């Protein structure tokens, strides 16, 4: 594959900073201590640390490990954690590209200081102001990275109860032919940006059948798939729906994983898996910016995963899924109690969100939420911001409910309040007629 077409001109020419090139080419048997611009660990104020898990287990970070955790690290990530994550990715997804020999399509991993930073970084790397980006809608990407839509046109691929719709993808591509991918002046999209599992905000998961069809379209039109998948492990159904990475025989999937939804968002630790040619360029950008993901965060996660092992990790994931399932079932019961006939929604197969679609109120998503705040002292997330301007449906207000943090009383108060606000708005609309 020609990966240069997925990157803008600035990034195509990017190389590691000169100092990194010098260190990278220095033989291992050479004493480099007099060339390193690093503080000596002797002046670090922290010696060691003990973390206690909720089951009472104590995790130790020794003095030697603490010196490494507080020092500058490698941009690609803490080696022991990278090795462990590579093994996890291969066991969970069985990516075909992991078996490739050295080359631009071979699977490569990179640690990142949170997936949102990684997505923004790549979004700016691939934006060139000429070719539009295909994005499933609704999408958190439109909310979290408005800078991307400011520099690139966005083409909206519809989502329904079965996830991203391949028919909508083909309709978006219908003005081009697959041969246009070979013409840099054709303006054909190059990037397909997807949030396929427990979508934020829609809550839906794209089926395995649709994923195969979408991957085939991406192959046909030479699209690079951005698989933004932080909710992958929050699926209820086992076995989990296979990822796009698991289908990737070409090396056209750039996958973004996160520990935020299953371990801790505060550690700001995610990881990218994808073709060497693309991941390497993201690493070069990080070398000139964030430099590396917090080594302490990486070491904590490494120690935790090592302690758990594969079985312990899966046990924790299933406990998280069950916790969310109870929360979601209560929220859905409250929706059945207070919103029948007033709103529509899909029943999510996992994840953290329920999306309510409201009709015939004459109010926007923000106006509905403002009334919720003023009249009932509760709030939901107005979801119109998850749609591009072109894809917003007139007369439809959308509100996202997050099920994880609200207790049962708060959830009923929010959904009951929404029902009252909708009914009152409809009554006012009828009165005007």
Give the confidence band of 150 by pLDDT, cuts at 50, 70, 90. low
Domain range enclosing 426: 317-432
286 and 175 in a common domain: yes
Q: Is the pLDDT of residue 10 over 90?
A: no
Average confidence (pLDDT) over 47-67 = 97
Same domain, 322 and 305: no
For residues 21 and 108, state if they share a domain: yes
pLDDT at 389 over 70: no
Average pLDDT over residues 193-222: 97
pLDDT score, position 433:
60
94-127 pLDDT, tens digit per residue, is 999 999 999 999 999 999 999 989 998 998 898 8
Q: What is the mean pLDDT of the chain?
A: 92
Give the per-residue pLDDT at 345.
95
* Chosen domain end from 285, 309, 333: 309
144 band by pLDDT with thresholds 50, 70 and 90? low
155 and 71 within one domain: yes
Percent of the chain at pLDDT above 90? 79
Beta-sheet strand order (sheet of 107-112):
107-112, 270-275, 253-258, 224-228, 191-194, 133-137, 154-160, 163-164
Same domain, 300 and 321: no
Count of CB atoms within 10 A of residue 349's CB? Answer: 18
Q: Please say which residue of 262, 289, 309 terminates a domain.
A: 309
> Residue 97 sits in a domain of what CATH number?
3.40.640.10
Helix (H, G, I), strand (E, B) or coil at 428: helix
Three-state secondary structure call for residue 56: coil
Please name every residue paired with 154 in a beta bridge, in sequence order, or none if there are none.
Answer: 133
CA distance 199 to 205: 6
Q: How many domains does the chain have?
A: 2
Is pLDDT at 391 greater than 70 in this prediction? no
Buried b (16+ CB within 10 A) or exposed e, 308-344: beeeebeebbeebbeebeebbebbbebbeebbeebbe
**Are residues 285 and 359 part of one domain?**
no
Residues 140 and 168 in one domain: yes
pLDDT of residue 147: 56
113 and 244 in a single domain? The answer is yes
Q: What is the mean pLDDT of residues 146-168?
A: 83
Residue 393 has pLDDT above 70, yes or no: no
Whether pLDDT at 195 is above 90? yes
* Overall pTM surpassing 0.75 (yes/no): yes
**For residue 378, what is the domain's CATH number?**
3.90.1150.10
pLDDT given for residue 42 in this prediction: 95
Domain boundary among 269, 288, 309: 309
For the cut 60, the answer to whether the pLDDT of residue 308 exceeds it is yes
Please report where in the chains the tokens 């209820």 appear, as a residue: 236
pLDDT in tens, 16-39: 877 777 777 778 888 878 878 899
Q: For 95-109, 137-151, 225-239, 410-424, which range has the lowest pLDDT when averaged over its residues?
A: 137-151
The pLDDT of residue 31 is 85
């Amino acid at each position: 594959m020609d990966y240069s077409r997925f990157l803008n001109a600035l990034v195509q020419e990017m190389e590691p900073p000169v100092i990194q090139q010098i260190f990278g080419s220095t033989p291992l048997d050479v004493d480099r201590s007099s060339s390193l611009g690093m503080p000596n660990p002797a002046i670090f104020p922290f010696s060691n640390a003990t973390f206690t898990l909720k089951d009472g287990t104590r995790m130790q970070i020794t003095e030697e490990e603490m010196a490494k955790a507080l020092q500058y690290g490698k941009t690609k990530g803490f080696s022991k954690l990278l090795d462990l994550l590579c093994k996890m990715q291969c066991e969970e997804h069985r990516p075909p590209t992991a078996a490739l020999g050295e080359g631009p399509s071979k699977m490569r991993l990179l640690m990142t200081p949170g997936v949102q930073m990684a997505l923004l970084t790549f979004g700016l790397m691939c934006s060139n102001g000429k070719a539009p980006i295909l994005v499933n809608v609704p999408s958190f990407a439109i909310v979290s990275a408005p800078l991307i839509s400011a520099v690139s046109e966005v083409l909206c691929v519809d989502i329904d109860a079965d996830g991203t719709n391949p028919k909508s993808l083909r309709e978006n591509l219908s003005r081009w032919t697959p041969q246009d991918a070979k013409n840099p002046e054709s303006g054909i999209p190059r990037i397909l940006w997807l949030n396929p599992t427990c979508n934020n905000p829609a809550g839906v998961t794209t089926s395995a059948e649709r994923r195969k069809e979408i991957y085939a379209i991406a192959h046909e039109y030479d699209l690079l798939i951005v698989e933004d998948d932080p909710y992958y492990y929050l699926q209820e159904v086992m076995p989990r729906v296979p990822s796009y990475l698991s289908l990737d025989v070409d090396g056209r999937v750039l996958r973004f994983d996160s520990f935020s939804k299953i371990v801790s968002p505060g550690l700001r630790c995610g990881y990218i898996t994808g073709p060497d040619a693309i991941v390497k360029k993201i690493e070069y950008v990080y070398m000139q910016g964030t430099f590396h993901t917090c080594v302490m965060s990486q070491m904590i996660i490494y120690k935790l995963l090592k302690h758990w092992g594969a079985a312990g990790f899966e046990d924790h994931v299933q406990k998280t899924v069950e916790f969310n399932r109870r929360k979601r079932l209560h929220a859905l019961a409250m929706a059945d109690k207070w919103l029948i006939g007033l709103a529509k929604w899909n029943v999510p197969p996992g994840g953290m969100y329920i999306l309510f679609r409201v009709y015939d109120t004459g109010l926007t998503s923000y106006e509905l939420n403002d009334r919720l705040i003023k009249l009932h002292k509760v709030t939901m997330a107005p979801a119109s911001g998850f749609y591009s301007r072109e894809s917003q449906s007139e007369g439809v207000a959308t509100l996202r409910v997050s099920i994880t943090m609200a207790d049962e009383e708060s959830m009923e108060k929010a959904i009951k309040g929404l029902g009252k606000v909708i009914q009152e708005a409809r009554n006012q609309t009828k009165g005007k007629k």
